[in-house]
Amino acid sequence: MTAFQQISVAVGKGFVRDKASLFFTFLLPLFFLVLFGILFGAMEGSESTLEPIQYIAPGILSFGIAMSAVFASALTLVSWRENGLLRKLQLAPVSPFTILTSRFSVTVIVAVLQAALFFAVAFLPFFGLRLESTWWMAVPLFLLGVLSFFSLGILIGSVFKTDQSASAASNLIVLPLGFLSGTFFPLDFAPSWMDTVSLASPLRHMNDGMLALLVRGEGPEALLVPCGALLLFALITTGLAGYFLTRGDQ
């Protein structure tokens, strides 16, 4: 078994054994789906607007993936540092790229399982979610979204040294992004400054792209701006994470 496989299996086992992580990873998006599905269930969309479930589902899924990816990568890095595993991995004949990609692969698998469970519930007659035929084009956007929030979590884990501080920082960053990115309400009804500020949020771009491809039926051109923004965000946060990790080892 290669080092990549060994680390991936170890991370996967750790995730499965953490009941709290399992609960919040898979049930938190469903909680928001049920909550907003009930709140907006009586509303109907017109010919020019989306039905509530069509609007809120892509955003809630993106938010759930963001939460799980950020928390998983941030707390994993902090845990590895606290128990000395990070130092052992750095001294082992394993490249940092292998370590990060193995952890990222587990994050992608979890995100895919999240999405599968989420859509299985959202497709129920009570919610009535319908996807357009262009849904499959959202796959690269989905992967770049996972990468962006994974890298954000690595940055948080690089800066904050304890579980409590990393968890608090993750909440303070991700929760406001949900409200600034149009996850729970359209930004058309928000102040203009909020719409401008939200352009710096990776969740805003993931939401916009998922909405365009999953339920609006737009073409591949809808991928350009969201994918570019997510890739740029991932590169910046990865670079910053590398800087803080290097400085912390000195």
Q: What is the pLDDT of residues 153-211, one digit of tens each?
A: 999 999 998 989 999 999 999 998 888 888 877 777 778 888 888 888 999 999 999 99
Domain that holds residue 206: 52-249
pLDDT digits over 91-121, tens only?
777 777 888 889 899 999 999 999 999 999 9
Q: Could you tell me if residue 231 is inside a domain? A: yes
From residue 177, give the alpha-carbon distance in Å to each of 116, 148, 173: 23, 13, 7
Rounded mean pLDDT of the chain?
Answer: 87
CA 197 vs. chain centroid, Å, equals: 19
d(CA 73, CA 101): 11
248 pLDDT more than 70: no
Tokens of 176: 């406001």
- The pLDDT score that the predictor gives to residue 46 is 42
Q: Could you tell me if residue 243 is inside a domain? A: yes
**Count: domains in the chain:** 1
48 pLDDT more than 50: no
| DSSP codes joined into one string, 227-248 | HHHHHHHHHHHHHHHHHHHHHH
More confident residue, 73 or 98: 73
- The pLDDT score that the predictor gives to residue 42 is 55
- The pLDDT score that the predictor gives to residue 20 is 76
Length of the chain: 250
Tokens of 65: 């993936």
Q: Could you tell me if residue 3 is inside a domain? A: no
Band (pLDDT 50/70/90 cuts) for residue 245 is confident
Q: Could you tell me if residue 99 is inside a domain? A: yes
From residue 217, give the alpha-carbon distance in Å to each of 54, 91, 133, 186, 221: 12, 49, 7, 18, 11
Q: Could you tell me if residue 17 is inside a domain? A: no
Q: Could you tell me if residue 191 is inside a domain? A: yes
Band (pLDDT 50/70/90 cuts) for residue 1 is low
Q: Could you tell me if residue 15 is inside a domain? A: no
Q: Could you tell me if residue 16 is inside a domain? A: no
